[in-house]
Amino acid sequence: MKSIDEYISGHSTGETEALEWIKKQTHIRTNHARMLTGAVQGRFLKMLVEATSPRNILEIGTFTGYSAVCLAMALPADGHLDTLEINDELEDLILEGFRRAGVYGKVSLMIGDAGKSLTGLRKEILEDRTRPMYDLVYIDANKREYPEYYRLVFDIVKTGGYILADNVLWDGKVCLDPLPQDRQTLGIAGFNDMVAADSRVESVIIPVRDGLNFIRKVRD
């Protein structure tokens, strides 16, 4: 008997050749292939961009570039994606994936600590009014830092724009009572609580893979 995941995969549009290459290289060249976005979630990201029509996207946590490619493929000709990754050893793999997918010119890869990179981006955007704010932010990096990422990006997301956060169900750990006290679970749970209590947004958690918190900024 097929699992739910197998059924969903079998009834969803598959991967492009470039995405298959990224997936294969991720398994060969890293020890953390389970972090890969995957075909179903990747297709969801692509279709979400097509539906919401953002021109400027920020991704926090590139890993090997699978999700970045999915986001960038759906951007209009004048659209752009900034993506942040801490692991400089992945840079060559990421950039080759961008080239194979035909999105190299649409994406800027920033290597370094996400918190520091976000602080710099935030300062630049808030001080230079000619620089566009983001229409969509996708968070998929250090789970312990999700609340801080949210605080840093909120003011540089357009009103009416979106924040999307991955892994917000954290393998069901956020539902446990008592709540596990490891920093990753506390970070995710704190983020979800922060969003739920924020009157400036509306949000819904979608149970795709490990959970996506889909957040719309309705006012500053």
* pLDDT tens per residue across span 182-199: 999 999 999 999 999 999
Using pLDDT thresholds of 50, 70 and 90, give the confidence band for residue 33.
confident
- For the record, the structure tokens of 105 come out as 């010119």
Instruction: Answer whether 154's CB lies under 8 Å from 194's CB.
Output: no
In the chain, the percentage of residues whose pLDDT exceeds 70 is: 100
pLDDT value of position 35 = 85
> How far is residue 167 from each of residues 104, 172, 183, 208, measured CA to CA in Å?
27, 10, 14, 9
**In the CATH hierarchy, which fold is given to the domain comprising 4-217?**
Rossmann fold (3.40.50)
The predicted pLDDT at position 5 comes to 85
Give the least confident one: 4-8, 57-61, 93-97, 216-220. Answer: 4-8
Q: What is the mean pLDDT of the chain?
A: 96
State residue 36's pLDDT score: 87
| pTM of the predicted structure, to 2 decimals | 0.96
- The gap from C-alpha 45 to its chain's centroid, in whole angstroms, comes to 9
- pLDDT band (50, 70, 90) for residue 116: very high
Beta carbons within 10 angstroms of residue 149's beta carbon: 24
Question: 149 pLDDT band (50/70/90 cuts)?
Answer: very high
Rounded Cα distance between 122 and 63, Å, is: 22
Q: How far apart are CA 20 and CA 26, in angstroms?
A: 10
> Distance between CA 92 and CA 99 in Å, rounded?
11
